[in-house]
Amino acid sequence: MTALKDLNGKFIIDSAHSRLGFVARHAMVTKVRGNFDEFDGFAEGDANAPENGVIEVNIKAESINTGNSMRDNHLRSDDFFGSDAFPTITFRSTNIKVVDEETVEITGDFTIRGNTKSITIPFEFGGAVVDHEGKLRIGFEGATDISRKDFGITWNGALEAGGVMVSDKIKLELELALVKEA
């Protein structure tokens, strides 16, 4: 099996087999889960100098999907993502640190609504396999928490009993399948 330390070259995100998701608290008592349906990106690695690797992800903001069209349209509006004015959410790595054989920490510039903040996402290496087309396919899973207010997403509604409609803390959930470029 290919080990994390052996990954070299450019890998393209297979968006059909990947998920860029999120979880937010709603009305302080439940969770709303969603994801972005349209995104692309790549990872380029050098096993001899993993810190020099590059990862880029571009997400189409209007592709947000929580399974509720009324909520999704509100999330696309200027109250949240403002997808007409800010059509793309981006992540660009600034540092890659191999923690151990199974874990890598990726730090990078995450941009939503034109606001850029540095975030770190720990990823677990899910493994590697040569697929039916003879291409090397790898998988990673990661998660981290962000503050939506850091990215200019400040809309909220007060609850009669106290508290707010939408949590500030948002959990990002990432399941990535990547295929080595020929």
Q: What is the mean predicted confidence (pLDDT) over 148-162?
A: 73
- Looking at every residue in the chain, the average pLDDT score rounds to 90
Of 182, 138, 176, 135, residue with least CA distance to 47 = 138
Is the pLDDT confidence value at 147 over 90?
Answer: yes
How far is it, in rounded angstroms, from Cα 26 to Cα 34? 12
Q: Domains of the chain (ranges plus CATH)? A: 4-180 (2.40.128.110)
Kindly report, residue by residue over 30-69, the tens digit of the pLDDT: 899 999 999 999 999 888 888 889 999 999 999 999 999 9
User: What is the pLDDT averaged over residues 152-164?
Assistant: 63
Hey, how many other C-beta atoms are within 10 angstroms of the C-beta on 59?
A: 24
Q: What is the pTM of this model?
A: 0.91
For residue 27, what pLDDT is reported?
Answer: 59
